[in-house]
Amino acid sequence: MSLLSQALRGGALALLLGAFAPVGAAQAEEIRTPMIAQGCAGCHGQSGAGMGAAPRIAGYGRDAFIATWEAFRDDERPATIMNRIAPGYTDEEVAELADYFSQLR
């Protein structure tokens, strides 16, 4: 592989792709999405950026994320579906999700 292609794959390609994607999404992709968070992208958009009625979860404060999750889990917060999803994850997994989404801007 040439130095040029290495450089391009590392940087210039990201810039090129960035021209097509919202800046936030391009930045977010630099933070590797943990496997546990992959399922979230099916509704909440790329890197938790939100999609239509599914709210943005990127940039959610870590403690607030965990508190919200626990409220869904305990059915203490109005919900249509997250109250069914939240009990399916362990505390450790929720902490990992909170760490990840709170890092995103």
Partner 1 sequence: MNGFSPKITRRHFGALLAGSAFTLAAPAILRADTGPRLVVIGGGFGGASAARFARINYPDVNVTLIEPYDSFVTCPYGNLILGGRRELPQITHSYDGLRARGVDIVQNWAKDIDPVAKQVTLADDTQVAYDKLIVSPGIGLRWDAIEGYDEAASEIFPHAWMGGDGSQISILRRQLEELPEGGVVGLAIPPNPFRCPPGPYERISMIAHHLKQHNPRAKILAFDAKDGFSKQGLFQEGWEELYGDLIEWIPASEDGTIVAVDPQEKVFISEFGERHKVDVGNVIPPQYAAAIARDTGLADESGWVPVDPLTFAAGTAPDIHVIGDANIGAPMPKSGYVANSTAKQAVASAIADLRGESPPQNPVYFNTCYSHVGEEYGISVAAIFRLDDDGEIAATPDSGGVSPSGPLSEQAHNRRREAEYADAWYDSITTDMFS
Contact set with partner 1 (CB under 8 A)? 1, 4-5, 8-9, 13, 16-17, 19-21, 29, 32-33, 35-36, 38-39, 41-46, 51-54, 80-81, 84-89, 93
Nearest to partner 1 of 43, 71 (CB atom): 43
Q: How far is the CB of 88 from partner 1 (least distance, A)?
A: 3
Nearest to partner 1 of 70, 89 (CB atom): 89
CB atoms within 10 A of CB 35: 8
Q: Is residue 38 a contact partner of residue 51, using CB atoms and an 8 Å limit?
A: no
User: Which residues, other chains included, contact 59 with Cβ-Cβ below 8 Å and sequence gap of 6+?
Assistant: 48, 101, 102, 104, 105
